[in-house]
Amino acid sequence: MRGPHNIWRLLRTGATLERTGAMRVVLDALEAPRPLRIVARVIGWPLQWLGIKGDPAQPPVTRALTALGPAYIKFGQILSTRPDVVGPELARQLRVLQDKLPPFSREKAMEVIASELGQPVDDIFDDVSEPVAAASIAQVHSARLKSSGARVAIKVLRPGIERAFRKDIDAFYLSASVIEALSPASRRLRPTDVIKHFEGVVMGELDLRLESAAASEFAANTEKDEGFRVPAIHWGHSGKRVMTMDWVEGVSASDSDAIDAAGFDRALLGARVLQMFLSHALRDGFFHADMHHGNLKIAPDGDIVALDFGIMGTLDVYTRRVYAEILFGFINKDYRRVAEVHFEAGYVPADRDVNEFARALRAVGEPIFGMDATHISMARLLTYLFDVTERFGMETRTELILLQRTMVVVEGVSRSLDPHINIWNVAEPVVKSYITQNLGPRALARDLAKSARVLARFGPRLPELAEQLLIQQSRKTASEETASGWRRGLGYAALALVAGGLGAAVTLLVT
Active site residues: 290
Report the alpha-carbon distance of residue 430 to residue 282 in Å, rounded.
9
Report the alpha-carbon distance of residue 44 to residue 281 in Å, rounded.
43
Kindly list the distances between the CA atom of residue 189 and the CA atoms of 195, 206, 396, in Å, as whole numbers in the listed order. 11, 27, 5
Report the alpha-carbon distance of residue 280 to residue 137 in Å, rounded.
25
3-class state of residue 158 by DSSP: coil
Could you tell me how far CA 380 lies from the centroid of its own chain? 22
Report the alpha-carbon distance of residue 502 to residue 473 in Å, rounded.
36
Q: DSSP for 197-266, please give it.
A: HHHHHHHHHT-HHHHHHHHHHHHHHTTT-TTEE-PPB-GGG--SSEEEEE---SEETT-HHHHHHTT--H
306: Cβ contacts below 8 Å, ≥ 6 apart: 218, 228, 229, 230, 288, 291, 295, 296
Report the alpha-carbon distance of residue 134 to residue 141 in Å, rounded.
9
Residue pair 421/414 in contact (Cβ under 8 Å)? The answer is yes
Q: DSSP for 307-328, please give it.
A: ---SSEEE--HHHHHHHHHHHH
Backbone angles phi, psi at 172, to 5 degrees: -65, -40
Report the alpha-carbon distance of residue 418 to residue 401 in Å, rounded.
26
Q: Checking DSSP bridges between strand 312-314 and strand 286-288, what pairing results, if any?
A: antiparallel
3-class state of residue 440 by DSSP: coil
Report the alpha-carbon distance of residue 30 to residue 262 in Å, rounded.
35
Residue pair 82/46 in contact (Cβ under 8 Å)? The answer is no
Residue pair 348/395 in contact (Cβ under 8 Å)? The answer is no
Q: DSSP for 351-397, please give it.
A: TS-HHHHHHHHHHHHGGGTT--GGG--HHHHHHHHHHHHHHTT----
Residue pair 29/87 in contact (Cβ under 8 Å)? The answer is yes
Q: How many CB atoms lie within 10 A of CB 345?
A: 21
3-class state of residue 99 by DSSP: helix
Could you tell me how far CA 384 lies from the centroid of its own chain? 22
Residue pair 324/434 in contact (Cβ under 8 Å)? The answer is yes
